[in-house]
Amino acid sequence: MVSFESKEQLMEVFNTFWAKAIQLDEVMEKLAEKKIVVRFDIEEPSAHMTINFRDPGPNGEIGTLSFDSDVEPEVSVWSKSETTNKFWQNKLSTTVAMARGQVKLDGSVTKALSLLSKIKPLYDIYPEVLKELGLEHMIL
């Protein structure tokens, strides 16, 4: 499997990805209805990425992405960066990955799983971002 080379690379990919994702109004509106904060605790390299659909951002926007946030999440998702890469390309069965210990959830599993159907359109954006950033070798 392919993982990120550094925290900086991971941050660049997800900042670019999220800038495109928030332009999908229909998806963002559905996610905003959940009013949830999800933190992704990623290893190899280590990064803590928080997506906040509960609290308005600095410009009043909902659905902000930040790294190393001190906002308390309702759901924490742990995985290695190679698993995170696989997930955002829709190449990972979350339930199988949880059973194998590749993904660990802390908090409301029901809330976390309810988000999966709403984020499906985002799976198309992620590989486009990898390609745009010259990371074709990470596309599965």
**Torsion-angle region of 87 (φ positive above 0: left; ψ -120 to 50: alpha; else: beta):** alpha
For residue 40, give the amino acid letter: F
Whether pLDDT at 89 is above 90: yes
Q: What is the pLDDT of residue 114?
A: 84
Domains and CATH numbers, the chain: 7-138 (3.30.1050.10)
For the stretch 2-16, pLDDT in tens is 889 999 999 999 999
Mean pLDDT across 117-136 = 95
pLDDT tens-digit series, residues 117-126:
899 999 999 9
| Distances from the Cα of 71 to the Cα of 76, 106, 120, 127, angstroms | 12, 15, 25, 28
- For the entire predicted model, the pTM comes to 0.92
Helix residue ranges per DSSP H, 51-138: 81-87, 94-99, 109-116, 122-132
From edge to edge, which strands make up the β-sheet containing 75-80? 64-67, 47-52, 37-43, 75-80, 103-107
pLDDT digit string (tens) for 22-78?
999 999 999 999 899 999 999 999 999 999 999 888 888 889 999 999 999 999 999
Does the structure show a pLDDT above 70 at 1? no
In one-letter notation, the amino acid at residue 34 is: K
